[in-house]
Amino acid sequence: MSAAEGPLVVGVDSSTQSTKALVVDTATGQIVASGQAPHTVTSGAGRESDPEQWWSALCEALRQCGDAAHEAAAVSIGGQQHGLVTLDAQGRPVRPAMLWNDVRSAPQAQRLIEELGGPKVWADRFGSVPGASFTVTKWAWLAEHEPEAVRATAAVRLPHDYLTERLTGTGTTDRGDASGTGWWSSAGESYDEEILGRVGLDPALLPTVVRPGEVAGTVRGGDLPFAKGTLVAPGTGDNAAAALGLGLRPGTPVLSLGTSGTVYAVSQRRPADPSGTVAGFADARGDWLPLACTLNCTLAVDRVAALLGIDRQAVEPGGSVTLLPYLDGERTPNLPNASGLLHGLRHDTTPGQLLQAAYDGAVHSLLGALELVLDEDADPTAPLLLIGGGARGTAWQQTVRRLSGRAVQIPEAKELVALGAAAQAAGLLTGEDPAAVARRWGTAQGPVLEPVERDEAALGRISGVLSDAAALLDRRPDAS
């Protein structure tokens, strides 16, 4: 480990598949140690994980960081959004956590929208129209299908809340992650008693919302490689953490290519999209983070490549095939019952063209929401910041350029969620805005790929197939 210039902080990214921990020098942004450990996720109708695995993975990732973690003065957790964590009176998980990409609660989402008065009421009060990803719909599903689990629940947490509480012993969350639950009102910046009453959730079971810049608590000791009394920041959801990690200013568009795909930007205006395409999330600083999310991104495209028996980069141009890779249902567009759809297959269609069509279908969904995410006065020529695991792939880069017609910038910093969490922890020590900390670290710097002419023909073909197949895509699996 090289000598650090300033205090050390730890930033954590507890994602769907793994937990990563970075030890960062607050003065320079240098990563002085890192660690990573995996989780497992169930397959089938639901998507669930054992929260105890997240804790074990965090402990292992910190162990890999060595002495540097013990020297840290502050820590912050960034975590996957929306997951429903139910704990008993001893703080143990009642059942596995229902994750963001578990779409079993789609019927409950639709019922809640109707019961409260429709999409506009939801958008005006909560900033978002809930889909099956939102935590409130998962709680409603649990109450209907597993009432015994609900009766055993003494605390309800989000994934990042759970890990933060294991550190501090106190139940806390932040406005960024709370805004993805469906029971936190963006209009009032508080829990909404009416919707909690409708789903039978006692507000006493929920964590305290810690404001930006406040301390969530201190490490209470135990077997972690932190000194007792180390400061713990509020933490936040993964997208809000990545926004911090990029040091985003209002109006800069971000396209994130991971297990899910997201497009978002920081805004100083509270979002309220009654169409439900844009989720009106809060950010971790006091502004807003309008965001659109797809369920099918890199994993879906990789699955298509595996089925074809070719490398994920082995795309070929040409052809007229359309592939909508909705392998897990879809959130944008809102088609929770959808499956993948292939149209336009010909004798001369090549495997590479099929794979390119999967890329096109995944990116089309994200770009379709971009104009709704950005404020009207956003600069239309600003480069898209391309982040996430897919951002390093040439096929992803070229697909985004071709379908967006915009310049694309690829930040050299990789672990932006963990870096954003580290910037939040650093802000506790220095008194700085965490986004300003990240800008000082230069996390968004990276090569810019110049714009190319937008492929209007491909965009039109995909939109046409999506429109024509709408009824088929929205058909319930048990429908005749």
Q: Give catalytic residues, as residue numbers.
A: 238
Amino acid letter for position 470:
A
Instruction: Determine the 3-state secondary structure of 225 from DSSP.
Output: coil
Q: Decide: 156 and 205 in contact? Cβ < 8 Å.
A: yes
Q: What region does 55 belong to: left with phi over 0, alpha with psi -120 to 50, or beta?
A: alpha
Q: Which residue has the tokens 């880069």?
A: 397
Instruction: Determine the 3-state secondary structure of 379 from DSSP.
Output: coil
Q: What is the DSSP letter of 392?
A: G
Instruction: Determine the 3-state secondary structure of 474 from DSSP.
Output: coil
Amino acid letter for position 388:
G
CA 69 remoteness from chain centre? 26
Amino acid letter for position 316:
E
Instruction: Determine the 3-state secondary structure of 276 from DSSP.
Output: coil
Instruction: Determine the 3-state secondary structure of 384 from DSSP.
Output: strand
Phi, psi (degrees; rounded to nearest 5) at 255: -120, 115
Cα(231)–Cα(228) distance, integer angstroms: 9
Which two tokens mark 238? 């993964």
Q: How many C-alpha atoms does 237 have within 13 Å on its Cβ side?
A: 23
Cα(474)–Cα(371) distance, integer angstroms: 24
Q: Which residue has the tokens 């239309």?
A: 380
Q: Decide: 106 and 295 in contact? Cβ < 8 Å.
A: no
